[in-house]
């Protein structure tokens, strides 16, 4: 009932907006047993302390050098207006885009780290195999494969004088392409 009260669309029926302000929140059953004087004096131990310097933003330095001139001219689009017409809080598409970009970037960075780690491990294995062999060139390539040759697949390629070996990531048996002499 606390969240329902706080998230009421109608401001006049929203918890904390009915005329008594914060006292309405303090008297809610969720906060039974809280000594508000101790809260005011900061005597309670916080349940969670975020790591020092951690900011929920793409770049903490962007926050410190916030330029009001960058945001003065931002106008909400008709789509923004339609989306938020029945809600008193309005957030622009630009801000939503920044949040989506940050989340996308974080996810991609994690995926890239895992892929690079996997490739480094495979490269060590392949490099060890090539010591003392007649391999001319080796490394990762992308080739069209799968049903109807419609998907790009990563292969570890080894070029020898008489053949090309394409090693899939999942199996140890390579695909061989023999070169005519």
Whether 112 is covered by a domain: the verdict is no
Whether 162 is covered by a domain: the verdict is yes
Predicted local confidence at residue 71, as pLDDT? 63
Three-class secondary structure assignment of the chain: CHHHHHCCCCHHHCCCCCCCCHHHHHCCHHHCCCCHHHHHCCCCCCCCCCCCCCCCCCCHHHHHCCCHHHHHCCCCCHHHHHHCCCCCCCCCHHHHHHHHHHHHHHHHHHHHHHHHHHHHHHHHHHHHHHCCCCCCEEEEEEEEECHHHCEEEEEEEEECCCEEEEECCCCCCCEEEECCC
Predicted local confidence at residue 108, as pLDDT? 86
- Please say whether the beta carbons of 14 and 8 come within 8 A: yes
Whether 100 is covered by a domain: the verdict is no
Among 38, 34, 17, 14, smallest CA distance to 26 is for: 34
Predicted local confidence at residue 27, as pLDDT? 92
Domain that holds residue 8: 1-48
Mean model confidence pLDDT for the chain: 78
Predicted local confidence at residue 6, as pLDDT? 93
Predicted local confidence at residue 28, as pLDDT? 93
- CA pseudo-torsion sign 87, 92, 95, 96: positive
Whether 80 is covered by a domain: the verdict is no
Whether 54 is covered by a domain: the verdict is no
Predicted local confidence at residue 140, as pLDDT? 80
> What's the domain count of the chain?
2
Whether 134 is covered by a domain: the verdict is yes
CATH number, position 147: 2.30.29.30
pLDDT < 50 positions in the chain: none
Alpha-carbon radius of gyration of the chain: 30
Predicted TM-score (pTM) of this structure: 0.29
- Please say whether the beta carbons of 176 and 163 come within 8 A: yes
| pLDDT tens digits, one per residue of 31-61 | 998 999 988 888 888 878 777 766 666 555 5
| pLDDT tens digits, one per residue of 125-143 | 655 566 667 888 888 888 8
The two beta strands, 137-145 and 151-159, are antiparallel
């Amino acid at each position: 009932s606390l969240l329902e009260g706080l998230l009421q669309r109608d401001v006049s029926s929203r918890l904390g907006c009915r005329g008594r302000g914060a006292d309405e929140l303090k008297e809610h059953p969720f906060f039974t047993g809280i000594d508000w004087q101790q809260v005011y004096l900061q005597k309670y131990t916080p349940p969670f302390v975020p790591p020092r310097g951690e900011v929920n933003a793409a770049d903490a330095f962007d926050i410190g050098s916030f330029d009001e001139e960058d945001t003065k001219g931002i106008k909400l689009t008709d789509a923004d207006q339609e989306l938020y017409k029945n809600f008193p809080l309005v957030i622009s598409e630009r801000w939503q885009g920044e949040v989506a970009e940050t989340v996308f970037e974080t996810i991609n960075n994690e995926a890239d780290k895992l892929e690079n780690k996997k490739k480094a491990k495979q490269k060590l294995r392949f490099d060890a195999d090539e010591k003392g062999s007649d391999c001319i060139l080796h490394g990762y390539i992308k080739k069209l494969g799968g049903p109807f040759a419609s998907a790009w697949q990563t292969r570890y390629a080894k070029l020898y004088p008489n053949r090309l070996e394409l090693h899939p990531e999942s199996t140890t048996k390579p695909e061989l392409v023999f070169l005519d002499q």
